[in-house]
Copies of this chain bind each other. A is one copy, B any other.
Amino acid sequence: MADSEKRRSLIQQYLVQNGACSISALASRLEVSTMTIRRDMELLAGKGLVRVYHGVVVPLKEEATSLQEYALTKAEAVHVQEKLRIARAAASMVEPEDILFIDGGSTAALVARELPRGIPLTIICLSLNAFLNVAGNPAAEVILAGGIYHEETHIFEGPESIELIRRYRATKAFVSANGFREDLGVTCSNNYLLSIKQAVLRSSIQKILVADSSKFGKVNSCYFADLSDFSELITDDGLPDSALQSIRDSGTKVQAV
């Protein structure tokens, strides 16, 4: 990476952490002239990443503040690029008046974050992560399945959660998983996750599995569905063609983004 790029990257990182910074402070911190910073900012502003006011740079990264930030720092920072592509593909499937289940897990949380704003939706969240990423959407009715909070998964467990899921009917469910393979099916790591995911599948028309290719071939302790139980799989381009083909043959649409 060129020095100038590295500097801009550093600036961005600093801005996201600190919320804002003056151009003069950036110049002295990075030991370059203010003109250099200005030119950098012009570039970043052109990309829509920052906004430059009078002497001050403010990161414009979509609400990287407080709640959303919390939701993402906790998420495993692995395969973020893939997960984001998957999330965007998933979000682009959503249509006005859709009723959505958003599962726990970092990929599903990203789906929540990428959901179109301004169109009427009903969004039923199963994890705090997903919820925090949609709360505040003015056009959406946001529902959270409550219960006992599990900090490691950000999911609420309990009969109330299951009951709530059973009471609703969704047009689309975005479900995550810890592992998926053709022979042993789709798996997750906990018993309560299993109950929730199964309830979600039973309450939804379109069942969409969002899982990056690192999950492919893996198994975890709790089996909750076969791949063919899903109407669609959204994953990245890391799956072998043979696998893609055989999943498609079993009746599940596949998007590899």
CA distance A64 to B66 in the complex (A): 7
Bound together, the chains give a CA A163 to CA B146 distance in angstroms of 11
The proximity string for A residues 140-163 relative to B, scoring 1 for CB distances below 8 Å and 0 otherwise, is 011111111101000010111101
Instruction: Report the stretch among A47-55, A82-90, A105-113 that lies at the interface.
Output: A47-55
A20 interface residue per 8 A CB criterion: yes
Instruction: Please tell me if the beta carbons of B61 and A66 are within 8 angstroms of each other in the complex.
Output: yes
**CB atoms of B148 and A142 under 8 A apart:** yes
| A contact patch SS | mixed
A255–chain B nearest beta-carbon distance, Å: 30
In this assembly, does A257 line the interface, its C-beta being within 8 Å of a C-beta of chain B? no
Interchain CB contact (< 8 A) of A54 among B51, B55, B60, B148: B55
By the criterion CB–CB under 8 Å, are A156 and B146 in contact? yes
Judge whether A136 is part of the interface by a CB distance below 8 angstroms: yes
Given contacts A20-B53, A20-B56, A144-B156, contact A151 B136 (CB under 8 A): yes
B135, A151: Cβ atoms closer than 8 Å: yes
The reply on A22 being an interface residue by CB < 8 A is: yes
- Mask for A57-100, Cβ within 8 A of B = 1, else 0? 01111101111010000000000000000000000000000000
The interface size of chain A toward B, counting residues with CB under 8 Å, comes to: 41
**Shortest distance from the beta carbon of A107 to any chain B beta carbon, whole Å:** 22
Closest to A159 in B: B167
Judged by a CB distance under 8 angstroms, whether A164 is at the interface is yes
B residues in contact with A136, CB < 8 Å: 151
A interface, CB within 8 angstroms of B: 19-22, 51, 53-56, 58-62, 64-67, 69, 128, 131, 135-136, 141-149, 151, 156, 158-161, 163-164, 167
Given contacts A21-B53, A143-B146, A163-B163, 12 further A-B contacts (CB under 8 A): A19-B51, A20-B58, A22-B54, A54-B55, A131-B149, A143-B149, A144-B146, A146-B146, A146-B160, A146-B161, A158-B164, A159-B167
Provide 29 A-B residue pairs closer than 8 Å at the C-beta atoms, listed in order of the A residue: A19-B51, A19-B58, A22-B53, A53-B53, A53-B55, A54-B54, A54-B55, A55-B55, A55-B56, A61-B65, A61-B69, A62-B66, A64-B65, A64-B66, A65-B67, A66-B67, A131-B149, A135-B151, A142-B148, A143-B146, A143-B156, A144-B149, A144-B156, A145-B160, A146-B146, A146-B164, A158-B164, A160-B160, A160-B163
